[in-house]
Structure 1
Amino acid sequence: MKRIKLLYRFLIFINVFFSILLVVQLVLLIGPDLIYWKQYEDRTFGTFQSLIEGVRLVLLLIGLFKVQHGVRAIIDEGFYNVTSQVKFKKSGFFLIIYVLISFAYNILVMKELELNIFIVNFIQYYFILLVGIGLYIFSDFIKNGGKLKQENDLTI
């Protein structure tokens, strides 16, 4: 249980960091671009590029918050519970959506990126996709384990 609590604290740290990063991005990039309609001729999405990156960050942040809530449910209610199963499934869904949008975004802004950054982005998105699918599958393990535990408790 110590490691799960350590994971929970680490997720809190990561989520606070990403929340601060989102606020900074909103204040310094998205807000001024939309208020002053700053034109970027060299960017694919122009004024809305920072907004699209902010939306991607929000999807990642939601997925990580769901993981944090799922881990908290494990700490509070034990390993096999419906709350953590639902939270992990939702977090996997949000991470998969984040990756699909990021893949498309990376392809659309390909001409603005160097080749090594383009490839590294795809590798990162691939690993986040694996984590999202893993969380989705992990939620099914928790669901099936909960059913087995319930049947075992009824048998005794």
Structure 2
Amino acid sequence: MRKIRILHWFIIALIVIYCVVFLSNIYLVVYTPDFMNFSEEFYQKFIFGYYTQFVGLAISVVTFIALFFLERGLKDTVKKGFFNNNNVIKFKRTGQLFMVSGSLSLIWSITLLIYFNGMTLFSGLSSSMLLILVGFGLIILTDFINNGNQLQQENNLTI
């Protein structure tokens, strides 16, 4: 249970970091410093022009929401134990959101790779695939939790 508490606090730290990043991005969009004021012809090189910068932000919002579900699931695990129905719902939703976020990020990275004729980095592809795998792993974990919950209920009825 100690490791789950450590993971819970780590997820809370990630949520705080995400909040700081979102607030700083909002600040930079509203109060753009002089060195970031680019001309219209600069933005014409991008897929969606000025709004291209918001695509990555929108994808990270999905990851941010998934972190909230993960934090709630870990909190329930600490309070009620590992095998309960709330964990199944929250971890499954977290896995689905991580898979959606990873898939959107993968599609965006491939789109950028094609649009810029291979002149972008491949690092986005690997992190997207990792996020998809984490989401898939959480969905598999929910099956184990569900089976454990059923076994625990049968054990309680036997006693």
Helix, strand or coil: the match of 1:141? helix
Superposed CA offset, 1:27-64 (max 9, x none): 213x468xx9x741121111211221111110111111
Helix, strand or coil: the match of 1:109? helix
| Structure-2-length-normalised TM-score | 0.87
Asked if 1:46 is matched to 2:49, the reply is: yes
Q: CA deviation at 1:19?
A: 1.5
Equivalent residue number for residue 122 of structure 1: 125
Q: How many residues align?
A: 150
Unaligned runs of 5+ in 2: none
> In the aligned structure 1, how far is the partner of 2:31 from the partner of 2:110?
26
- When structure 1 is superposed on structure 2, of 46-55 and 87-96 the one drifting more is 46-55
Unaligned runs of 5+ in 1: none
Superposition misfits of 4+ residues, deviation over 6 angstroms: none
Equivalent residue number for residue 7 of structure 2: 7
| Structure-1-length-normalised TM-score | 0.88
Q: CA RMSD in A?
A: 1.9
Preserved contact between residue 22 and residue 57 of structure 1 (Cα < 8 Å): no
> In the aligned structure 2, how far is the partner of 1:26 from the partner of 1:94?
23
Identical-residue share of aligned pairs (%)? 28
Q: CA deviation at 1:26?
A: 2.2
Q: CA deviation at 1:114?
A: 3.5
Task: Kindly provide the amino acid, as one letter, of the partner of residue 27 in structure 1.
Answer: Y
Equivalent residue number for residue 62 of structure 1: 65
Equivalent residue number for residue 80 of structure 1: 83
Equivalent residue number for residue 140 of structure 1: 143
> In the aligned structure 1, how far is the partner of 2:20 from the partner of 2:58?
15
Helix, strand or coil: the match of 2:7? helix
Preserved contact between residue 99 and residue 128 of structure 1 (Cα < 8 Å): yes
Q: CA deviation at 1:82?
A: 1.0
